[in-house]
Amino acid sequence: MDDLTIARALHVLSIVHWIGGVALVTLVILPGLTRSVEAAQRLSLFETMERRFGGQARLSTLVAGASGFYMTHRLDGWDRFADPAFWWMHAMVLIWAVFTFVLFVAEPLFLHRWFQARAARDPEGTFRLVQRMHTMLLTASAITIAGAVLGAHGAFY
* Chain residues that interact with ligand HEM, rule: CB under 6 A: 8, 11-12, 15, 19, 64-65, 68-69, 71-72, 75, 77, 92-93, 95-96, 141, 144-145, 148-149, 152
Q: Which of 60/126 has CB closer to ligand HEM?
A: 60
Q: Which of 29/93 has CB closer to ligand HEM?
A: 93
138 within 8 A of 149, measured Cβ to Cβ: no
State the alpha helices, DSSP H only, in 3-122. Answer: 3-24, 30-36, 39-74, 87-101, 112-121
Q: Which of 80/128 has CB closer to ligand HEM?
A: 80
Other CB atoms closer than 10 Å to residue 99's CB: what's the count?
A: 21
Q: Which of 96/127 has CB closer to ligand HEM?
A: 96
- Please state the closest distance from residue 27 (CB atom) to ligand HEM, in A: 16
Handedness of CA 67, 105, 24, 155 (dihedral sign): negative
74 within 8 A of 3, measured Cβ to Cβ: yes
Indicate the DSSP class of residue 75: T
- Please state the closest distance from residue 45 (CB atom) to ligand HEM, in A: 27
The contacts of residue 148 (CB under 8 Å, 6+ apart) are: 88, 91, 92
- Please state the closest distance from residue 144 (CB atom) to ligand HEM, in A: 4
Closest residue to ligand HEM, judged by C-beta, is 68
- Please state the closest distance from residue 110 (CB atom) to ligand HEM, in A: 23
